[in-house]
Structure 1
Amino acid sequence: MDSTSYKDLLKQREALDRQISEARQRELSTALTQVRDLIAEYGLSQQDVFPTGRAARAGTVTGSKVAPKYRNPSTGQTWTGRGKPPKWIQNQDREQFAI
């Protein structure tokens, strides 16, 4: 078994924590420089990099509206052709309802 004492291990951890912090600061500095250079090179605005509002969230929304493929001429109801068919189109030739 390893004979390293608890106090020695704590000192090692403190030293590693300092090294980790210093390395992170160096790499953050490099990353920020690269980001700033890219923003300047492509003339990006804050809105380009960090979009807000409805348009920004549109990409994260699951599912999307599908255009209807069938319309009931008597009621104007529509159906996309997905999921369970409505009663007005069941057991009938769908071509006669095609939009």
Structure 2
Amino acid sequence: MSTLAELIKQREALEAQIAQVRQTKLADAIGKVRALVAEYGLTAEDIFGGSKRGPKAAGASKNPFAPKYRDAATGHTWTGRGKAPKWIDGKDRAQFVI
């Protein structure tokens, strides 16, 4: 049976070997990718998608609901959903309708 110290040395040797093999594989992969990019004239947008990722890139607003109320003094708006902001809370909402 191995001692704890021997097992730790074996683990360290394996971790070093894993790191070395991983570095070699990464260098090979990067070389292949660079060759393909050069061969086909690819850009980062071609590979990673650029502006077509997610709703924010597509121009969608943070809030999908149109505002119903506007504070004339500050220009702040509220959709009428959720807790009312302080500028409209307790007041007649008709005067703030957009």
The normalised TM-score by structure 1 is 0.52
Aligned to 2:22: 24
Q: Structure 2 unaligned runs (5+)? A: 56-98
Distance in 2, matches of 1:24 and 1:6, equals 27
Post-superposition shift, 1:51? 1.7
Q: Paired residue for 1:12, among 1, 10, 13?
A: 10
Residues 44 and 50 in structure 2, CA contact (< 8 A), matched pair in contact too:
no
The DSSP-based 3-state class of the residue aligned with 1:49 is helix
Equivalences for residues 46-85 of structure 1 within 5 A: 46-53=44-51, 55-57=52-54
Identity %: 42
CA RMSD across the alignment: 1.3
List, as ranges, runs of 4+ consecutive aligned residues in structure 1 with deviation greater than 4 Å. none
The DSSP-based 3-state class of the residue aligned with 2:50 is coil
| 1:11-55 CA distance string (max 9 Å, x none) | 0000000000000000000000000001111110111011222x2
Distance in 2, matches of 1:50 and 1:22, equals 28
The normalised TM-score by structure 2 is 0.52
Aligned to 1:96: none
Post-superposition shift, 1:57? 3.7
Post-superposition shift, 1:56? 3.0
Q: Size of the alignment, in residue pairs?
A: 55
Distance in 2, matches of 1:42 and 1:17, equals 37
| 1:63-92 CA distance string (max 9 Å, x none) | xxxxxxxxxxxxxxxxxxxxxxxxxxxxxx
Q: Structure 1 unaligned runs (5+)? A: 59-99
